[in-house]
Amino acid sequence: MTFKFNIMGNNELRDYAKRVYGPVYAFQSCYVVDDERDIIFLDLGGHGDLAPGRGECPTYYNLLWQGIAVAFEAYDALQRNGDGVTLIFTITKFVVPPELAQVTNEIKGTLVVASQCYWNGRYKRELLFDVRFPLLELP
C-alpha cells in the first residue's frame, strides 16, 4: 500500500466534491492517494484541532474506497515527547457503507496508513503517530 501526498487542482476538487459523503466544513486542497488500489483520503474541514471539551465540531474526512465514500470524524492534537512530536489522531465516528462491511478491518488499517501519510505531508516532516478508535464497535 503506497500513498502519496498531493495538492488538488480545480478539476480534482470538483470531481471529489461530488463523491463525498457527510458534512463538508471547508474542503481542503491537500489529499493522499493510493493509485494502485483506487483509495483517496480527503479532509473535509472542521475544528478537530480544538479540544472536544470546547464544544467545537470535529474534523470531517472521507476515505474514497474504490469510489465508495467511507465517512469519519476525528480530533487531532500534537504532543511533545522525548523523541520529538507525536500526532494523536482520535477517530470518534466511523461510517462504513453496508456494501463495504466485509472489508471494515482492512479499511480501518488503511485509514491508519493514509492518515499518517496525510499528516506527514501537511506538516512536511515525519511525525510519530498514534491513531485511536475509542468506543467504536466495528463489525
CA angle 17, 118, 81 (to 5 degrees): 145
- Per residue in 108-118, pLDDT tens? 999 999 999 99
Q: What residues does 6 pair with on adjacent strands?
A: 31
Q: What is the model's pTM?
A: 0.91
Determine the average pLDDT of the residues in 115-137. 88
d(CA 112, CA 78): 16
Best CA proximity match to 94, nearest among 73, 69, 114: 73
d(CA 27, CA 38): 20
